[in-house]
Chain A
Amino acid sequence: DSGVTQTPKHLITATGQRVTLRCSPRSGDLSVYWYQQSLDQGLQFLIQYYNGEERAKGNILERFSAQQFPDLHSELNLSSLELGDSALYFCASSPVGMPNTGELFFGEGSRLTVL
């Protein structure tokens, strides 16, 4: 158990809809990261937040947005969903914005299926 909690674990929805994925980082971790893993793809970095502020942005679509709240949990909002958005979405956390060990701690992921 990494200590990172993601909800929901599974989500099935229709094209055009909007969903919100939630992540609670490990206790004390200030930084949250979101990654997307599509079929046969590696983990694609989406976005990083550190203590409530956006710090790094990857290949995140404009239809997607995220935020980190004062209690440090984070939400990833996916809107106008398309079939190609079906993927595993992982949240990870680290104590600081640039961990000394380079290590991120991952949650179990939220599997999104868009029909």
Chain B
Amino acid sequence: DQQVKQNSPSLSVQEGRISILNCDYTNSMFDYFLWYKKYPAEGPTFLISISSIKDKNEDGRFTVFLNKSAKHLSLHIVPSQPGDSAVYFCAASARYSGAGSYQLTFGKGTKLSVIP
């Protein structure tokens, strides 16, 4: 049972345009959401996060939107650059799971290709 779903395995966008990556979750206990970026032969690197008490968080060209009622979040990249080409993972956590335990639940990822 996938608790975090990224339904688009791949996405192609022209350089300079907006990239929108989507993520849905099913577990209502999730209260913190993150996006990671992964290049080939490297580990995932943290990109941006959002707490469930917010509906938007912005960091430079990257903005994450959270719609709690729809259990949906999206990552917007504006403008897209060729260096943004990577696999993007959505992740979620239930931060207060107790006793110092913590885990991130990841989606399967979306491969973004930004075409020059």
A interface residues, Cβ below 8 angstroms from B: 2, 4, 31, 33, 35, 40-45, 48, 50, 55-56, 58, 90, 92, 94, 96-99, 101-109
Alpha-carbon separation in the docked complex, A114 to B34 (Å): 32
Contact partner, A55, options B45, B95, B100, B106, Cβ 8 Å = B100
Return the chain B residue nearest A2 by Cβ. Answer: B43
Check A55 against B101 for contact (C-beta < 8 Å): yes
Residues in A with CB closer than 8 Å to B95 are 98, 102
A55 touches B102 (CB 8 A): yes
Interface mask (B39-53 → A, CB under 8 Å = 1, otherwise 0): 001111110010000
* Tally of contacts, chain A with chain B, CB under 8 A: 80
Please state if A48 and B103 are interface contacts (CB–CB under 8 Å). yes
Report whether A97 and B100 are in contact in the complex, using a CB–CB cutoff of 8 Å.
Answer: yes
Contact B45 A2, beta carbon cutoff 8 Å: yes
- Whether A102 and B93, one on each chain, are in contact in the complex, defined by CB atoms closer than 8 angstroms, is yes
**Of B34, B89, B96, B102, which one neighbours A94 at CB under 8 angstroms?**
B102
